[in-house]
Structure 1
């Protein structure tokens, strides 16, 4: 008797592995910047350049896809937004605890919903707007701007989430005319030159104590992205979302173990609001488009 392939189980495992890799990346980035004093733009440049080297064989095999676009300006805009996201994210990790940064980055899907409604003219139902409001309230609970402990640097992960969401909105528009290979290759090829422009002011030299941290972050970034994309090709986003949220657990655990960062009660309450709203939002979209393939934002 033929056995069914455990594809969903494999996809879930890949998503968990990707989350663990991203948690290790964040820990390495925070160690390099917060503990060893490396400049965030410099760390970001080397991280993504090393990740790019991982993808060179794949880029070469799919090089013909580069010539198939007529949306060059949109590709440049998408990369500019993505660069803003990664730069703000690394800068945020240099100043705020991992648990706070990773909880706030979960706001990204809500910014995507806002952008899709305002700029792509997608229909956003009252239920989806309600989920956005609940998610933003969750973010405010985590930030606690009314508290004496609030610092402006805590807004950096929120800004990173907004930039990544804007990049995702442009990606949605690009994929209406370009295939996945074209969109991915332009991001990979333009990301490092754009990061390099921002690194000129801080210099490209890294403290010797951070070399292996940054190399490890670059390799793990490539592995995490590859694993993440593979997971989304095997299962729907609605199925994978709960496993994706496990990255919060990994980041909180590593933050406590390596840096002694212990989340407060606001983090758990705010994160619960964000997770409930995001799961509801994703399920509404899955019911609205039951046959559409999962996309990696």
Structure 2
């Protein structure tokens, strides 16, 4: 799944929106493959072991990219504790998300994860001191209604799968905030590298307590989670360097299409109507927030910022 550590470095660039969108679509497809791999491997191996392989083998493409784009100089940092905090909340989000794949149909878990930008908007007020106007608060409220449609208010609304998926979305929003804070002084390669390295070390601590020796096929699948996940992260990072976030981010919602398709073809999971309707509401609210962010950015650039 995606951890959203793809923050572009603060450098001059020439935008190429079509290429950026293509990169994002490739990243979304690869992350969707990753979700399938995690759901498959979690049926046979401890979740913490799957998480370790996801991070450890992601180091290979991430390290290769760092060496090709500036080497050690590009990952020099003066904020190790910031990277540690970002890694802890990111690892929490990743673990909960992987667990939700095991507990829920794939499309349901992915749809509930779309609540992350809604949590982020709410948390940006106390944690980032950002001003959130009536438009964005209204979008958050509508998005919350969409989440309720997905989980269906009822005596069994708070089932374990829904709680875990929403917990993953909440942790992901904290990770996004940590990335925003780090991106004021850190490069994208630095944030991705230290996240991958730290989560590998942290997840390795659990291996003595939960380990199942994989057979050759199982080992191949576990390694694939890391290689696919790391490559997807790099494509997403590249996408955000080629075009503005407001152009790129909405294409992340294509993941619900892939989740529904893979869930149907591999596990015969057909999304219920309420999941489709709720996901549509959440996606619409998220797109509206992105729209308002675009207007706000243009207003700031023109020196006439208005209410958001």
TM-score by length of 2: 0.86
SS class of match (1:289)? helix
The answer for the alignment partner of 2:23 in structure 1 is: 14
Question: In structure 2, what is the Cα distance between the partners aligned to 1:80 and 1:51?
Answer: 17
Alignment of 1:109-128 (within 5 A): 109-128=117-136
Q: Residue 62 of structure 1 contacts residue 181 of structure 1 at CA under 8 Å; is this kept in 2?
A: no
The answer for the alignment partner of 1:38 in structure 2 is: 45
Instruction: Using the TM superposition, name which of 245-254 and 144-153 deviates more.
Output: 144-153
Instruction: Using the TM superposition, name which of 196-205 and 161-170 deviates more.
Output: 196-205
Q: Residue 43 of structure 1 contacts residue 206 of structure 1 at CA under 8 Å; is this kept in 2?
A: no
Instruction: Using the TM superposition, name which of 77-86 and 193-202 deviates more.
Output: 193-202
CA shift at 1:96, angstroms?
1.0
Q: Residue 112 of structure 1 contacts residue 168 of structure 1 at CA under 8 Å; is this kept in 2?
A: yes
The answer for the alignment partner of 1:58 in structure 2 is: 65
Q: Residue 144 of structure 1 contacts residue 150 of structure 1 at CA under 8 Å; is this kept in 2?
A: no
CA shift at 1:6, angstroms?
10
Question: In structure 2, what is the Cα distance between the partners aligned to 1:264 and 1:147?
Answer: 19
Q: Residue 23 of structure 2 contacts residue 236 of structure 2 at CA under 8 Å; is this kept in 1?
A: yes
Alignment of 1:153-192 (within 5 A): 153-192=161-200
Residues 279 and 203 of structure 1: is their aligned pair in 2 closer, same or farther, counting only changes over 3 Å?
same
Question: In structure 2, what is the Cα distance between the partners aligned to 1:150 and 1:116?
Answer: 26
Question: In structure 2, what is the Cα distance between the partners aligned to 1:160 and 1:222?
Answer: 19
The answer for the alignment partner of 1:295 in structure 2 is: none
CA shift at 1:189, angstroms?
2.0
Q: Residue 109 of structure 1 contacts residue 278 of structure 1 at CA under 8 Å; is this kept in 2?
A: yes
CA shift at 1:114, angstroms?
1.6
Q: Which runs of 5+ in 2 are unaligned?
A: 1-13, 302-308
Number of aligned positions between the proteins = 285
CA shift at 1:86, angstroms?
0.8
TM-score by length of 1: 0.89
Instruction: Using the TM superposition, name which of 12-21 and 265-274 deviates more.
Output: 12-21
Question: In structure 1, what is the Cα distance between the partners aligned to 2:291 and 2:151?
Answer: 27
Q: Residue 45 of structure 2 contacts residue 212 of structure 2 at CA under 8 Å; is this kept in 1?
A: no
Question: In structure 1, what is the Cα distance between the partners aligned to 2:30 and 2:270?
Answer: 21
Tell whether 2:288 aligns with 1:280: yes
Alignment of 1:1-297 (within 5 A): 7-34=16-43, 37-60=44-67, 61-69=70-78, 71-146=79-154, 151-203=159-211, 205-206=213-214, 208-290=216-298
CA shift at 1:66, angstroms?
4.4
Residues 222 and 47 of structure 1: is their aligned pair in 2 closer, same or farther, counting only changes over 3 Å?
same
Instruction: Using the TM superposition, name which of 212-221 and 265-274 deviates more.
Output: 212-221
CA shift at 1:145, angstroms?
4.2
Residues 171 and 41 of structure 1: is their aligned pair in 2 closer, same or farther, counting only changes over 3 Å?
same
